[in-house]
Amino acid sequence: MYAVTFNNVRKRLGDFELNIPKLAIRQGYMTGFIGENGAGKTTTIKLILDMLQLDEGSIEVLGKNIKGGSVSIHQEIGYVGEPTGYPEETPLEAIKDMLALFYKNWDEVLYKSYMQFFNLNSKQKYKDLSTGQKKQFAMIMALSHHPKLILLDEPTSGLDPVVRNEILDILMDHMQNEEVTIFYSTHITSDLEKAGDYIVYINDGQIKLNSEKDTLLNEYSLVKGPKALFKGDICKEFLGLRENSFGSEALLKNKKVAYELFGEEVKYSKPTIEEIMIFLSHNNSKVVTEKALRGGNKQC
Ligand SMILES: Nc1ncnc2c1ncn2[C@@H]1O[C@H](COP(=O)(O)OP(=O)(O)OP(=O)(O)O)[C@@H](O)[C@H]1O
């Protein structure tokens, strides 16, 4: 079962084009959404929310086509992202009262417990909150109406590690208690190592990877060794290759295949999500060298 499905979606914004023929986000799991600046993460999330109009294709959210701006779908979605749209001069309590009227499943007890957990003062005006407190409040608003789908667009950017962890713990706790799907865009890939179930990677408007996190972390292999070993036919197995003055480093999809190719002559390690993203951000056939970064590009 899928909470969100994309079918032949295209969206042009200036020179940028998002092109997603197929994307399915699994229901009941946390999917991390990663990609470089400008890759199209916010655009994708805004399309799911129907905040942007599609040029082509269709998106189904919780079994319904989002076109037509169905209010009932928005009842089922919690969103944290920019802009929040909260009135700056208004106290948190009054913002909550407005939102609580909209959501038929508003849970006042849950709201109060989160406010207490984050130590937020409901009498305080929104504009007087710190960056972190604003994010905490947005998260509370997103969770307190028992949404079935939670869309998070960099909800923890600019937060200290303690608050980030608290937010992650709350999300994981929430997932244990509710049948909820979380789609979580972030540059803090270590958060996804802790909490994510699936990883979707977008590059220049196209989805390049959609995989189970544990498969990525346990099956993929980073291989390091002398440059001479990373040449010729072997290159077609690489998802990415980097070179520096000490040698070469390649990402391979399967650690068994990596061992068959290189044997004992190289060092193997498990890649992090950040390393996978860095390797995938460059074309398979190209080597990332200091020279390449300065302009040229060298074929493997
Ligand atoms: N209104 C707009 N008009 C023209 N181009 C736009 C508009 N909105 C976004 N873009 C472009 O679309 C591309 C994708 O932007 P988007 O905000 O989706 O990226 P992102 O992956 O969320 O990036 P970041 O990680 O930096 O937040 C960028 O190149 C951006 O400049």
Centroid of ligand 1 to alpha carbon of 37 (angstroms): 8
Centroid of ligand 1 to alpha carbon of 99 (angstroms): 28
**34 pLDDT band (50/70/90 cuts)?**
very high
HSE-CB of 18 using CA atoms within 13 angstroms:
28
> Which pLDDT score is estimated for 298?
46
Check whether 199 has a pLDDT greater than 80: yes
C-beta 42 within 6 A of ligand 1: yes
42-56: average pLDDT: 95
Segment 87-124, tens digit of pLDDT:
999 999 999 999 999 999 999 999 999 999 999 999 99
Check whether 288 has a pLDDT greater than 60: no
Centroid of ligand 1 to alpha carbon of 39 (angstroms): 7
Segment 210-226, tens digit of pLDDT:
999 999 999 999 999 99
**Ligand 1, residues 43, 44, 47, 277: which to mutate, most atoms within 8 A of Cβ?**
43
> Which pLDDT score is estimated for 196?
92
**297 pLDDT band (50/70/90 cuts)?**
very low
- Which residues, in sequence order, are CB contacts of 147 under 8 Å at separation 6+? 75, 76, 77, 78, 180
C-beta 38 within 6 A of ligand 1: yes
C-beta 41 within 6 A of ligand 1: yes
119-138: average pLDDT: 94
CB atoms within 10 A of CB 217: 16
Check whether 293 has a pLDDT greater than 70: no
Check whether 70 has a pLDDT greater than 90: no
User: For 125-129, 159-163, 273-277, 282-286, which range has the lowest pLDDT when averaged over its residues?
Assistant: 282-286
Measure CA of the first residue to CA of the last residue in the chain; give whole Å: 41
Closest CA to 48 of 139, 182, 199, 213: 182
Segment 252-275, tens digit of pLDDT:
999 999 999 999 989 999 999 999
- Which residues, in sequence order, are CB contacts of 115 under 8 Å at separation 6+? 92, 122, 140
Q: How far is it between the farthest Cα atoms of the chain?
A: 67
Could you tell me which residue, 270 or 244, shows the higher pLDDT? 270
Check whether 138 has a pLDDT greater than 90: yes
> Which pLDDT score is estimated for 289?
47
Q: Supply the DSSP string of 116-163, one letter for each residue.
A: HHTT--TTSBGGGS-HHHHHHHHHHHHHTT--SEEEEESTTTT--HHH
Centroid of ligand 1 to alpha carbon of 108 (angstroms): 36
Spatial contact of 141 and 85, defined as CB atoms under 8 Å apart: no
**285 pLDDT band (50/70/90 cuts)?**
very low
C-beta 205 within 6 A of ligand 1: no
> Which pLDDT score is estimated for 69?
58
Spatial contact of 272 and 283, defined as CB atoms under 8 Å apart: no
Check whether 22 has a pLDDT greater than 90: yes
Could you tell me which residue, 80 or 245, shows the higher pLDDT? 80
**What is the number of the ligand 1 atom nearest to the C-alpha of 44?**
18
Spatial contact of 19 and 40, defined as CB atoms under 8 Å apart: no
